[in-house]
Structure formats: C-alpha cells, structure tokens
Structure 1
Amino acid sequence: MHASSVTSRSETSIAIHRPLRVFAWLSFLAEVIIIGTGGAVRLTGSGLGCSEWPLCTPESLIPLPEQGIHGLIEFGNRTMTGVVGLVALAVVLLTVHAVGGRRLVLRALWFAVGGVVLAVAVYAIAEVLGVAYSAALMSAALLLSVIAGAVDSLRRTEQRRDLALLAWIVLAGVMAQAVVGGFAVLTDLNAFIVGFHYASSLLLVCVTAAYLVRLYAAPGPRETAVPRWFAILTHVTGLALAVTILFGVLTTGSGPHSGDADIKRTGFDATWLAHVHSWPGYILAALIVALLVSAWVLRLPTRNWLIVLTATVLVQVLVGVLQARHGLPPVLVGIHMMLASLSAAAYTVVVLKLKRPVATEHAPAVAAHAGHA
C-alpha cells in the first residue's frame, strides 16, 4: 500500500490525543491476537465446538457443559471477535472526532443506531418468512450500515482523510469477518472459506499497522524517499510474500489441522504443497536480505524496519522447517500463523516508509507536532 493512496484532500495538522493512540495500538494487537485464538480453534479441533452461528447451540448463546473444552475454545474466539469490533469502533469514533469534531461523531452514531434497527428488522422479517441464514442477513445489514456511515463520514472529512479511511476499513472488515466466520461454521469448516477467513484477518493486521504509521507521520504531500529500483524490488518482495502466504494457506487447508476430525480437506497433496510453499519462502528471504543490505549501504529510511522484517521472516523460515520435520505439531503451526501476520505487518510499514513528507518551510513545525502526537 502506498502512502499516497490514502492521503487526504486537505491534510493539515490535527490534535492526536492519547486515547486515540492507545486504542490504535490495541486495535493492532487485537487483530494479531485473534489470529492466534482462531488458530487455537483450528489446531485443537474446536472448529465445531459451537455447532451454530451466531448462537453456540440451537438453544444457547454460550457453550453448554457437554460441549467441553472445544466449546469453550470456539466461544472464546467468538468473544474475541466482539472485543476486536468494539476496539475498532472506538478507533473510528476517536478518529472521526479528531478530524471532524462532535458533529461527525454524532452522524456516525446515528448511522450506528440506524444500522442496529435495520438489522433487527431484517432478522425479524427473515424469521417470519422462514428465510435461511437470517443471522447472516442481519450481519449483512449491519455491514451495509457501516459502509454507508463510512461514505457519509469521509465525504464530510477535510482533514486527515487517510486516518479516517483506514479506521473505517478496519471496522467494516471486522464486520465482514464475523459473517465469513459464521459461514465457515455453517459450511462445516469448508477449507477454502476458512483459508479466506485467515487471509482476511491478516489483511486487517496490515491495515491497522498502516493506521499506526500514518498516525505518527507528518501530514501533507509525500515524495519518494528511495531509488526507483529499490521501490520496484520492494514491491516484487511483496509479491513473493503474498505468494508464500497463499501457498501456506493452501498447504494448511490440505493438512491434518482441519479444525475438526471429521472435516474434509481441500483434496490437494499436502506434502507436495509444503514443498511448493517453501520455494517462494526462500526467494522471499533472499529478496529481503538484498533489500536490507541495500538500505544500509545507501542509508535509506526503510533500513530499521527491514531489520524487523528480516528477523521475522528468518524466524518464520526456521519455524516452517521445524514444523515440517516434526510432523506439524500444533504449537509450531500456530506460531507459524502468527509470524505470517507479523511479517505482513512489518512489510506494510516498510512500504509506507518508501515515501516521506515533502520538505517545505513548515515541515519542522509539522514534524514536531507529529512527534509530540
């Protein structure tokens, strides 16, 4: 993601208060943690610990004693989804207040209330008509209200639209993820839906990381801070990272950790896919090392974050080799999943560091404000 892709029409300095910074970090951490709790559901065979959605059983919202530890693990992950959503909502409201004041916050709250009313109405009508997946339709109504609220808010935002846009994307993404997770349960853990669910969660980690970068960055126009060939090589590295993660998802979808003992896998040869997954992984590691060496020789602004990315990917490679040699122990597979999200987040920061604020006579004052924020 380029920093220029989310710049505002009129970027000026705004007051960034401590609560917004705290909740922005909490949002990033929550998105990483929920990948871990989702992995725990899958790796402990608890994917159908709650057989229904959004209820846990046809009669109960929470797991019953006879569902045992699997029900608790699955319900714990669902509870974490609620936490992630509330934190994302807090970031949206705090961001909207920072960029537009109380007026925009009230408009956003009106859309929230309208969305809840619409969702309840949709659910009630679906139940009366006997329409299948009434809960999914209710969630879809809530998602539409979030999107409508985002469009309305962004149209009225003149300052730091980059922050507002990223905050709304995370909230809408969390809402969409709840729907996808529900369909994963309703389709008996279809491997492709589960894989999409994980990949989407990883993208939300990247967006929350991008929000943090832009939160602390000086506002205004940006210019390229690295040679053109370095920028191109960085984006090629991103492609290698995406391919590595894609084949990792397919490999896991074909392996033994389905989330439930009776669930069918994708049908691909997991052993063959594991080898294919490793090839772009090794290419990725080589490309990142090349970027790191080049950045330090040329003293580019990406060099510190390339150290983080290099360390994360090298540990990721090591864990991948160990898990393959020891029969895919659940703990190592879970660590591998978490590291993939952190690698993607670190890469996102590297890409955003390819550009810097355009130097102007007001740059020192703006930079000082951003540093204080």
Structure 2
Amino acid sequence: MRFLPLRPLALASLVANVALVVTGAAVRLTGSGLGCPTWPRCTDSSYTTTAEMGVHGVIEFGNRMLTFALGIIAVACVIAALLEKPRRRSRVLLSVAVLFYIPLQAVVGGITVLTDLNPWVVGIHFLISIVIIAFAYALWRRAAEGDGPPVPLVPRPINHLVWILSAVSAAVIALGVVVTGSGPHAGDEDAKRNGLDPATVSQAHADVVFLLIGLTVALVFALRAVKAPATTVRAAVVLLVVELAQGLIGFVQYFTHLPVLLVGAHMLGAALVWTSTLAVIWSLRSRPDLPAPPAPTELSPTPVADDEPVPSSR
C-alpha cells in the first residue's frame, strides 16, 4: 500500500534498534542501570520516574520508553507487509520476527534490573538486540527485492568464506560482551562483575578481532580475483574499514582506561560491524522480479486470400 510503505518502515526499525544499543550503553556508562530499581514499574508505586530519582531515573526510564517506539514501528512493519499486493510470505515472517523479539528484549531488560544487573543477563540483553538488528536488516533488504529465485553473484567457495567470516564476526561481538562483563561501567557501582580476568578475556577478544580482519582482507582480494560485482566488493571494503575503525577505538579505549565516550563509540561500532557483515552476506546474490506472464492474445479468424474461393454455404 502506498500510504504504508514497508521499506522505509523497515529502515526506521533498523535505525531505531541500533539507537537502542547506543541508549543502552548510555544507561550503563552513566551508572543509571538501576535508575528505575524495579520492573515493570519504575518504583514500587509508580510506572514513571520521580523527581527524587534524579537524572539516573530519567535516563533509565527514557531507555524503557524507547522500547514502545520500537514496538510501534514493528507493528507498522507487520501491517505494511500484510497489506502488500501481492503479499510476500518472507516479508511477513521477518516483520513478525522483529515484533516478537522486541517484547522479549523488554522482559530480559526487566530481568537485568531484578537481578541487580547480573553481567550475564546484561550480555544476553545486548545479544538480543544483535538478533533484532539482523531481522530488521533482512526485512529492509528483502523489501527492495523481487520475487524471483536468488541468483548467486560469486562462486560457491566465496560464499563459504563469507559464512565463516560472519560466524567470526558474531564471535567477536559475543566475546566483547564477556569483556564488558569483566570490566568497569557495570551500570551501577554496586553491580557485580562476571569474575573473569579483564586482561585475559580482552586478549582473547583481540585475537578473534585480528582473525576477523584477516578474513575480511582475504575476502576483498578473493572478490577482486573472481571479478565479483562492484557492489559486492564495495560491501567487503566497507566492512574492512568499519572493522579497522572499531579495532582502533578498542585499542585506544583499553590503553586509556576505558573513557566513557570511547566505550559508547565502541558499542555503536559493534552494531555497525554487525550491519556491515550483514551487508556483505546480502551482496552475494540478487533476487530479480519474476518475468511477467505473456499477455493473452485474442483469437481472430484466419484471413482469406483474395484469390482463394470462398466456400459455398450449400
């Protein structure tokens, strides 16, 4: 339907879920994780923040309100997918997946408060955002594609390399969650950490980052060797640039004792690395429209030549 276009709504959902990662980082980095000390209410007697709770309550409550905005956008995406003519099953399923995970994300966020910011629960809370971003990105890309079968743009070994790279990218993000759970900026000064040695888990995280960068460099050269489409090569180069920028921020923040602004930028960078990885996956094939069926032709009587006799009716 023209009045409810799916693709812009899917893009809004993607951007809003990336923004949730940033606002969630702001909650943690400002020590506002328990600004609303209970859930689903903000206090035992109020669903909203109170003046006595100060700026921490405002920050935490504002992050909770963003969930409702995400839910509204997700509902709009589902409606838009259902109203499409013709209706595409894959788009409906992707929009429903985004809508399903948003309340799940809210519940896990509530559990983080009820468990006094348990670092493992906080990590799961972040990883659910990564899953939602994947579904939202897929919906945005699928909304612009045709209904024909996918057409591969690169040889099969390149596909295998990209899937390995994607698994390593996910591992980098997961290890980053473990590193976060071992260090400062827990969201509250009394919150417990996961008990792991920060230096050890940071080294493991860095090792996997180097592996990811190496795989991405290999992918760029492989794509150029097989003369892959320019869009595919560009997606791989963008991923490499984002990884290098994210790695630089990571090293600087580590050696400068984790300043708040750099940690926040690193959280945004994690979401950008993930979306750039997804962009590479989607650049490996195209999905054109199905060819239009031939227009029906009307049957017409066979013309009679001027020199042919006309059959008698007798």
Rounded Cα–Cα distance in structure 2 between residues aligned with 1:215 and 1:17: 15
Rounded Cα–Cα distance in structure 1 between residues aligned with 2:6 and 2:136: 13
Rounded Cα–Cα distance in structure 2 between residues aligned with 1:97 and 1:282: 45
Aligned-partner residue type, residue 271 of structure 1: A
Deviation of 1:171 after TM superposition, in Å, equals: 0.3
CA offsets per residue over residues 172-209 of structure 1, 9 Å max, x none? 01011011101111111111110000011011112111
Aligned to 1:185: 113
Rounded Cα–Cα distance in structure 2 between residues aligned with 1:287 and 1:203: 22
Contact 2:10 2:140 (C-alpha < 8 Å) held by counterparts: yes
Aligned to 2:145: 217
Rounded Cα–Cα distance in structure 2 between residues aligned with 1:338 and 1:344: 10
Matched, 1:253 2:181: yes
Contact 1:210 1:349 (C-alpha < 8 Å) held by counterparts: no
Aligned-partner residue type, residue 224 of structure 2: W
Deviation of 1:16 after TM superposition, in Å, equals: 6.7
Deviation of 1:362 after TM superposition, in Å, equals: 4.7
Deviation of 1:330 after TM superposition, in Å, equals: 1.4
User: Which structure shows the bigger proportion of residues in helix conformation?
Assistant: 1
Q: How does 1:61-72 map to 2 (within 5 A)?
A: 61-72=47-58
CA offsets per residue over residues 305-340 of structure 1, 9 Å max, x none? 112211211111111111111001111111111111
Decide which of 71, 77, 83 is 1:85's aligned counterpart.
71
Aligned to 1:296: 224
Decide which of 271, 279, 287 is 1:357's aligned counterpart.
287
Rounded Cα–Cα distance in structure 2 between residues aligned with 1:86 and 1:290: 41
Partner of 2:143, secondary structure, is helix
Deviation of 1:21 after TM superposition, in Å, equals: 2.5
Matched, 1:94 2:74: no
Q: How does 1:166-245 map to 2 (within 5 A)?
A: 166-245=94-173
Deviation of 1:299 after TM superposition, in Å, equals: 3.0
Q: TM-score when scaled to structure 2? A: 0.88
Partner of 2:219, secondary structure, is helix
Partner of 2:84, secondary structure, is helix
Rounded Cα–Cα distance in structure 1 between residues aligned with 2:98 and 2:84: 17
Decide which of 23, 27, 34 is 2:9's aligned counterpart.
23
Shift of the 242–54 alpha-carbon distance from structure 1 to 2, 3 Å rule, reads: same
Partner of 2:5, secondary structure, is helix
Rounded Cα–Cα distance in structure 1 between residues aligned with 2:77 and 2:117: 31
Partner of 2:151, secondary structure, is strand
Contact 2:250 2:266 (C-alpha < 8 Å) held by counterparts: yes
Q: TM-score when scaled to structure 1? A: 0.75
Contact 2:154 2:226 (C-alpha < 8 Å) held by counterparts: no
Deviation of 1:99 after TM superposition, in Å, equals: 4.9
Matched, 1:340 2:270: yes
Deviation of 1:19 after TM superposition, in Å, equals: 3.2
Deviation of 1:66 after TM superposition, in Å, equals: 1.5
Matched, 1:40 2:43: no
Aligned-partner residue type, residue 98 of structure 1: E
Aligned to 1:54: 40
Percent identical across equivalent pairs? 39
CA offsets per residue over residues 324-366 of structure 1, 9 Å max, x none? 1100111111111111111111211211222223797559xxx
Contact 2:146 2:290 (C-alpha < 8 Å) held by counterparts: no
Rounded Cα–Cα distance in structure 2 between residues aligned with 1:246 and 1:30: 21
Deviation of 1:225 after TM superposition, in Å, equals: 2.0
Matched, 1:312 2:298: no
Deviation of 1:97 after TM superposition, in Å, equals: 1.1
Contact 2:148 2:289 (C-alpha < 8 Å) held by counterparts: no
Rounded Cα–Cα distance in structure 2 between residues aligned with 1:360 and 1:245: 38
Aligned-partner residue type, residue 194 of structure 1: V
Q: Please, which moves more after superposition, 258-267 or 338-347?
A: 338-347
Deviation of 1:90 after TM superposition, in Å, equals: 0.8
Partner of 1:226, secondary structure, is coil
Aligned to 1:119: none
Rounded Cα–Cα distance in structure 1 between residues aligned with 2:73 and 2:290: 36
Name the Cα RMSD after superposition. Answer: 1.8
Q: Which runs of 5+ in 2 are unaligned?
A: 294-314
After superposing on structure 2, the runs of 4+ consecutive aligned residues of structure 1 that deviate more than 2 Å are 15-22, 296-299, 355-363
Deviation of 1:36 after TM superposition, in Å, equals: 0.4
Q: Please, which moves more after superposition, 352-361 or 58-67?
A: 352-361
| Paired positions, count | 291
Contact 1:206 1:345 (C-alpha < 8 Å) held by counterparts: yes
Matched, 1:331 2:261: yes
Aligned to 2:309: none
Contact 1:221 1:357 (C-alpha < 8 Å) held by counterparts: yes
